[in-house]
Amino acid sequence: MRILVIEDEKKVASFIRKGLTEEMYAVDVAHDGEEGLSMALHTRYDAIILDVMLPKKDGMTVIRTLRESGCDSPVLMLTARAAMQDRVQGLDLGADDYLTKPFHFEELAARVRSLLRRTSSEKSTVLTCGDLSLDTVTHRAMRAGKEFELTTKEYSLLEYLMRNKGRVLSRSLIQQHVWSYSFDTESNIIDVYVKRLRNKIGDDGSSRMIRSVRGVGYIMREPDEDSSSHESNSIE
Ligand code: CA
């Protein structure tokens, strides 16, 4: 999952980036409202963390413009403890949640998970598909009771696929949600990672959960799902 952090205080921004990266998210940072707005309109982020006091465009202007432009990414606003009015205004302009500064990273991480659940059909913190499970709090991945280790990108890719179970995901969509700007993506990187992921989770044979969709990308499906439907004709 990919998150945009719009925060001008370098120390706070890098603290959030570091923490979220450790939580296996792809993270982009913007240091003013103008840059943040342009990034948020250009990429469909899974969540946006937006500071209120920002140079060039303040957080209120950013959230208002985002919602007016039809951007529906969940937004968590960072406000000053004393500024009750900011919290009310932010929520009324379309923010989904707020957190007052200073905060503990654990709370920010929990609020981000909560935002990601709102836009996902998966409401549990543990994502499942067949006998595969991914705990989004502890980051433990298990298949049939056996735990396996994933790299950050493998985890991120699996989380994105599992959160969108049953949906055909194009390669460009997967790239947008799993890789940040700073990551140099080669054209076949997604296929390479899918292959690695399949090997790690032992996903093969006719009951394969991560299916290729010819000319498009991939879909994650429950292993016992009916594969004779019209749509799946092109699924390998
Ligand atoms: Ca600020």
Distance 51 CA to ligand 1 centre (A): 6
Distance 7 CA to ligand 1 centre (A): 6
Is the same domain home to 59 and 105? yes
Q: Is the pLDDT at 229 greater than 50, yes or no?
A: no
User: Which residues hold their Cβ within 5 A of ligand 1, which is an ion?
Assistant: 8, 51, 53
Token representation of residue 115: 């935002």
Angle at 32 between CA 27 and CA 35, to 5 degrees: 70
Amino acid 105: pLDDT: 96
CATH number at 173 reads 1.10.10.10
Q: Is the pLDDT at 235 greater than 90, yes or no?
A: no
Is the same domain home to 139 and 84? no
Is the same domain home to 206 and 158? yes
Q: Tens of pLDDT along 59-97?
A: 999 999 999 999 999 999 999 877 889 999 999 999 999
Average pLDDT over the chain reads: 90
Is the same domain home to 106 and 133? no
Residue 223: pLDDT band by 50, 70, 90 thresholds?
A: confident
Helix (H) or strand (E) holding 60: helix 59-68
Residue 182: pLDDT band by 50, 70, 90 thresholds?
A: low
Is the same domain home to 200 and 165? yes
End position of a domain, from candidates 79, 101, 118: 118
Distance from the Cα of residue 232 to its chain's centroid: 26
Distance 48 CA to ligand 1 centre (A): 15
Distance 12 CA to ligand 1 centre (A): 9
Is the same domain home to 12 and 109? yes
Residue 186: pLDDT band by 50, 70, 90 thresholds?
A: low
Distance from the Cα of residue 223 to its chain's centroid: 24
Q: How many domains does the chain have?
A: 2
Amino acid 211: pLDDT: 94
End position of a domain, from candidates 118, 144, 160: 118
Distance 6 CA to ligand 1 centre (A): 9
Is the same domain home to 109 and 171? no
Is the same domain home to 96 and 53? yes
Amino acid 78: pLDDT: 96
Distance 120 CA to ligand 1 centre (A): 30
Q: Is the pLDDT at 180 greater than 90, yes or no?
A: no
Distance 101 CA to ligand 1 centre (A): 10
Q: Is the pLDDT at 226 greater than 60, yes or no?
A: no
Count how many Cα atoms sit within 13 Å of the Cα of residue 162 in the half-sphere of its side chain. Answer: 25
End position of a domain, from candidates 118, 144, 178: 118
Is the same domain home to 104 and 131? no
Q: Considering only 102-106, 111-115, 133-137, 179-183, which range has the smallest mean pLDDT? A: 179-183
Is the same domain home to 53 and 85? yes
What is the gyration radius of the CA atoms in the chain, in angstroms? Answer: 19
Which residues constitute the domain of residue 63?
2-118
CATH number at 85 reads 3.40.50.2300
Question: What CA–CA distances, in Å, run from 125 to 111, 162, 190, 210, 228?
Answer: 12, 12, 25, 21, 31
In the 3-class helix/strand/coil scheme, how is 107-122 assigned residue by residue?
HHHHHHHHHHHHCCCC
**What is the pTM (predicted TM-score) of this model?**
0.87
